Amino acid sequence: MSRFARAAERGGAAGFRVNGPRDVEAVCKRSRLPVIGIQKRIHSDGELLITPRFSDARKLVAAGAVILGIECTRRAQDVGALDLIRRIKSDLGTLVMADVATLPEAIAAQTAGADLIASTMRGYTPETDSNQLFEPAFIAELVARLRIPIVAEGRIETPEQAVQALEAGAFSVVVGTAITRPETITSRFVAAMAEKTTGAMISRPNAAAIISLDLGATNTNAAIVSSDDTLECPSTEATPKQGKNALIDHIVAITRRKMMEAKSGGMSIAALAVATAGWVNPEEGKIVYATDNLPGWTETHLVRELQQRLDLRVIIENDANAFAIAERHFGAATGVCDFICLTLGTGVGGAVFSGGRLLRGNNHLANAIGHIVIHPDGEQCTCGLRGCLERYANSAALLRFASGCYSSVEELIQDAQARVEPASQALARYAEELSIGLVSLVHILDPQLVVLAGGIGEGNSLLVEHLNALLARQTMAPKLRRLRIVASTLGYHGATYGAAHAARLQLGVG
């Protein structure tokens, strides 16, 4: 990212919009131009929000951002975006740029104290999804009705459109995909030449593209993963709870939509990869065992069921295994031979690499980390046992530790990062429970690294801090181990990447 920034600066850019404190810091070290910092997060509804947490805002400022980009669509306002602007202005004193899709959203953001308004979300909300082209008239409307600077951003693909934005009164212009994605830039040239010479689009050769699904107990993520591991057409929707047949129908429907999206984009598909909750035998293509988080899923011959309905090769993998595969090849565990990956959310999933190999076990039932018993005769678990780690380290447990003061894990974690009670105490209690299970694993496996993922683990620096301190006290010979606990950097689609990579290795393509 810092090299992208330096290249853009040499081309005349006046500043950068950068996602995540790590990249913000890297860019600030290489350039003195101002940085608009953002942090994309997956909300509990499965959709992205831009910088929804104060803790993220604080980290971005510490990394060097001089302006914070905050989503202020109607959906974001419903979960506290306007209060977040006020808190940032009060506690951090930093300039705020509000990303909006409509004039009423912009007016509300200005009233809350935003310093700039950006048209970033135009065309990306249910109210504006029919607006798929850059609209200079919308910029002009914002300029006419507001008293703060307007930044034109979103769907600006050509220099001519950037000029139109300035002519409409924009204070500045942000251009993203049109100058940062070589694949997109190339495809525009190819499409233009194809129209001129043949009147049709030239198909992109991509025989190794994989349709990849991450079937979780709450949501299902899906995408087309290209041969160079680019995520195309990502989507998220709720996972049905009605049993095996509903789940298979759900997978088939998503896959057929992705096949149509691939066809319209000129991509050929090599296979369908499914990462699923439950223990999986990839060789036999079946679900060995699943808890009641996915009712009726045990003993499902998923590959056979899907291949009967889809004209595709199908490869399946456990979701936590898939995430660990992604971490091993693309993430925090790159180059690490011995590590544990924990996915913390509706359930507690886990996967282990030992000596560079993924542990599966004799019956493909290894890595049942969430079902280590940490409290004999404790609470009933969905697996049928009592006192399992999952009952004390899932989302419901974290909310329970806050004595019902929160309905959202995201809100609780945000307050805990700010040391607000009872959220801070709840997260500390959660870390203590999780550490009980982790200590046993560390003593048995002697890993170099523990990677935390899922809705509770990802980006949760306070949880990482608690666990590093707890394990340093609770493990034998901690100085010899030099164990590190880190949060995943792969984001919400980590298992999607991992399943596609596993499929590609099995197929010998890409």
> Would 351 be classed as within a structural domain?
yes
- Indicate whether 448 and 354 sit together in one domain: yes
188 within domain boundaries: no
Helix (H) or strand (E) holding 174: strand 172-174
Q: Do residues 352 and 451 share a domain?
A: yes
Residue of 505 and 421 predicted with greater confidence: 421
Residue 53, exposed/middle/buried by CB under 10 A (0-12, 13-18, 19+)? buried
pLDDT digits (tens, 9 = 90+) for 96-105: 999 999 999 9
What is the C-alpha to C-alpha distance for residues 455 and 495, in angstroms, rounded to an integer?
13
Integer CA distances (angstroms), 66 to 17, 54, 69, 176, 489, in order = 11, 15, 10, 19, 23
Q: Are residues 121 and 90 in the same domain?
A: yes
Which DSSP letter does residue 447 get? -
Q: Which residues of 417-452 are buried (b: 16+ CB within 10 A; e: fewer)?
A: bbeeebbbebbebbbebbbbbbbebbeebebbbbbb
Q: Are residues 18 and 73 in the same domain?
A: yes
- 301 and 390, same structural domain? no
Alpha-carbon distance of 411 to 419, in angstroms, equals: 12
Q: Are 488 and 428 in contact (CB under 8 A)?
A: no
Give dist(CA 289, CA 352) in Å, integer.
18
- Whether residue 498 sits in one domain with residue 457: no
| 341 and 478 together in one domain | yes
What pLDDT does residue 10 have? 85
Neighbours of 101 (CB within 10 A): 27
Q: Which two tokens stand for residue 42?
A: 């997956």
Q: CATH number, domain at 129?
A: 3.20.20.70
Tokens 């691939």 correspond to 262
Cβ proximity of 288 and 280 under 8 Å: yes
Q: Would you say how long the chain is, in residues?
A: 510
Whether residue 411 has pLDDT greater than 70: yes
The position carrying tokens 């394990």 is: 471
Range of the domain at 498: 209-321+494-507
**Residue 436 within any structural domain of the chain:** yes
Residue 196 lies in a domain: no
Judge if 414 and 472 occupy the same domain.
yes
Lowest mean pLDDT among 19-33, 68-82, 226-240: 226-240
Report H helices in 331-457.
389-393, 395-401, 409-417, 423-445, 454-457
Structural element, H or E, at residue 264: helix 244-264
Is residue 328 one of the residues assigned to a domain?
no
pLDDT tens column, 417-442: 889 999 999 999 999 999 999 999 99
Q: Across the chain, what does the average pLDDT equal?
A: 89
Name residue, tokens 């009980």.
Answer: 436
Same domain, 400 and 293: no
Q: Are 394 and 347 in contact (CB under 8 A)?
A: yes
Q: Tell me the mean pLDDT in the region 70-75.
A: 96
The answer to whether residue 307 scores a pLDDT higher than 70 is yes
Q: How far is CA 449 from CA 338, 339, 357, in A?
A: 7, 5, 15
User: Quick one: how far is CA 393 from the chain centroid?
Assistant: 20
Predicted pLDDT of residue 197: 52
In a domain, 185, yes or no: no
262 plus 358 within the same structural domain = no
Residue 389 in 3-state DSSP?
Answer: helix
Q: What is the pLDDT of residues 152-171, one digit of tens each?
A: 999 898 889 999 999 999 99
Confidence (pLDDT) at 201: 37
Give per-residue burial for 334-347: e unless 16+ CB within 10 Å, then b: eebebbbbbbbbbb
Q: Render 373-388 in DSSP notation, one character per residue.
A: BSSTT-SB-TTS-BSB
Confidence of residue 3 (pLDDT cuts 50, 70, 90): confident
pLDDT per position as a tens digit, 352-362: 999 989 999 89
Residue 371 DSSP symbol:
G
Overall number of domains in the chain: 3
Give the pLDDT band of residue 46 (cuts 50, 70, 90). low
Tokens of 489: 């950097």
Contact between 413 and 456 (Cβ < 8 Å): yes
The pLDDT assigned to 311 comes to 83
Claim to verify: residue 383 and residue 483 sit in the same structural domain? yes
Q: What is the CATH classification number for the domain harbouring 220?
A: 3.30.420.40
Torsion sign (Cα): 317, 278, 349, 373: negative
Whether 197 is in a domain gets the answer no
Residue 229 pLDDT exceeds 60: yes
| β-strand partners of 275 | 214, 317
Average pLDDT over residues 21-40: 93
Domain assignment present for 195: no
Using the predicted structure, report yes or no on whether residue 193 has a pLDDT greater than 80.
no
Q: What is the structure's pLDDT at 465?
A: 93
Residues 12 and 116 in one domain: yes
pLDDT at 304: 93
pLDDT (0 to 100) of residue 472: 92
